[in-house]
Structure 1
Amino acid sequence: MSDQTREPARAPEELAALFNRRANAGDVEGLVALYEPDAVLAAGRVVATGHAEIRTFYADLLARKSDFRAPETPPPLRNGALAMTFAQLPKGAFSVEVAREQADGTWLWAIDQLKLAPPKA
């Protein structure tokens, strides 16, 4: 799927749904397209900065064949052109993201903090 055929997020609350749809489709490039070029994604000990590192992170994650669902999540908290979004991920993980409105009115994540679920005892 090319960038021209991927729908953009027109509101911050659309980002999580787009993420789940693209992750379940195995669309690594589509996931990367949800982030600003210099975005930072932190997941445990991994800190990925920029599209190239975020691409590597998601290629590895999607290789594990997780099922991404969109359970009920709190609505984004907005302050002008910034929004804090939330997502629940497989196996009890969750993430909190900072999205920013772009000049064209679309929204992209600038910061993504993934909290991995603790291992089961």
Structure 2
Amino acid sequence: MSAKEKAQKPEDLTRLFVERANEGDAAGLAALYEEDAVIAYPPGSQTVGRAAIQALWEKILTNVPRFEQEPPLPTLTAGDIALTSTLARDGAGARAQVVRRQPDGSWLRLLDQPEFVTPAP
């Protein structure tokens, strides 16, 4: 885990994600995920584990995409687990993440569903 800023509340993860993505920091993005996290991307498949998630973001960031902050929907929290979500500005429907509080009190993504659109056959 890098010495970069950690999410002190679930909602911080989205802000940190956009900041790091726009910096082209694939390692910093991967550090926002638990070691065994799962992201439902590319569409119709899953990427499992922090190392694979970092490799995925390295590939995506070569195209130099620009990410924008999206307004959060209300966070649902039950103890050390929370569900965060935003309405996607890029037509991907919505985004949702299950996040978990870590022993140091920070939060990391466990499950990431970056879009809720039906994948092409």
Using the size of structure 1 for normalisation, the TM-score is 0.86
Instruction: State the alpha-carbon separation in 2 of the partners of residues 90 and 65 from structure 1.
Output: 18
Q: Does 1:46 align with 2:42?
A: no
Aligned residue identity for 1:101: R
Aligned-residue RMSD, C-alpha = 2.0
* Paired-residue identity, %: 38
Unaligned runs of 5+ in 2: none
Report the equivalent of 2:18. Answer: 20
Structure with the higher strand share, 1 or 2: 1
Unaligned runs of 5+ in 1: none
Using the size of structure 2 for normalisation, the TM-score is 0.86
Instruction: State the alpha-carbon separation in 2 of the partners of residues 19 and 40 from structure 1.
Output: 16
| Runs of at least 4 residues off by over 3 Å | 87-90, 116-119
In the TM superposition, 1:57-68 aligns within 5 A as 57-68=56-67
Aligned residue identity for 2:115: K
Report the equivalent of 2:107. Answer: 107
Q: How far apart are residue 89 of structure 1 and its match?
A: 5.0
Would you say how many aligned residue pairs link Structure 1 and Structure 2? 117
